[in-house]
Chains A and B, each alone.
Chain A
Amino acid sequence: KAGVTQTPRYLIKTRGQQVTLSCSPISGHRSVSWYQQTPGQGLQFLFEYFSETQRNKGNFPGRFSGRQFSNSRSEMNVSTLELGDSALYLCASSPEGGGPTGELFFGEGSRLTVL
């Protein structure tokens, strides 16, 4: 079974630009969660999608948004990038129907550098 696939793996942007990250969950998994990982803050929850609906949201500004498609693939978008947005963005999928409470299967992440 293929794992969680995230693209791109690495990207460099400049302040003010926007970025879109993609995540393909494990086949059959309907829940997709996004996390931001930085050395100072650790793993911070961004949002979780299930059946194309955002079910939970973390404490991030509105510049961070996401969506999920009918095939469970998910994208997250960050607009008006700031230096502090530099981080590893991790996507995780879960077969659970009740939110990210069971085991999460993580992708390798997309490392974003904002210059």
Chain B
Amino acid sequence: TQLLEQSPQFLSIQEGENLTVYCNSSSVFSSLQWYRQEPGEGPVLLVTVVTGGEVKKLKRLTFQFGDARKDSSLHITAAQPGDTGLYLCAGVKGGKLIFGQGTELSVKP
């Protein structure tokens, strides 16, 4: 059982569509991070959310941290082919950064 459950695992959409990726847990986290990983590269940090209920925007990406700090979501507006990649959420537990299994996003032109 994964400490952080991401859904969906795979998502294939057309350019211009909107999408939401979810990261859920039964545990409380002091913060959650979102990373994006492109093929052949390591993950790159997109954002860190710290406060329950916090909303952060990064261009067309909107990140939200649940009020209870157990879940987070990533919403992409008007997806573009350049958004294609593996999206990973991660939270600190026991001094370690634990990752969800990731959401593989494919945006077709």
Which A residues are closer than 8 A to B by beta carbons? 4, 33, 35, 41-45, 48, 55-56, 58, 90, 92, 99-101, 103-109
Contacts and interface: CB of A to CB of B under 8 A. Distances in A.
B42 A56 contact: no
Interface residues of B, number: 22
B42 A58 contact: no
B42 A109 contact: yes
B32 to A, nearest CB: 12
Nearest to A47: B96
Nearest to A41: B101
B2 A108 contact: no
B101 A100 contact: no
Nearest to A40: B101
A56 B96 contact: yes
B109 interface: no
Contact of B42 (A44, A55, A92, A99): A92
Interface string B38-56: 0011111100100000000
A42 B100 contact: yes
Contacts of B74: none
Nearest to A109: B42
B42 A90 contact: yes
A55 B42 CA distance: 22
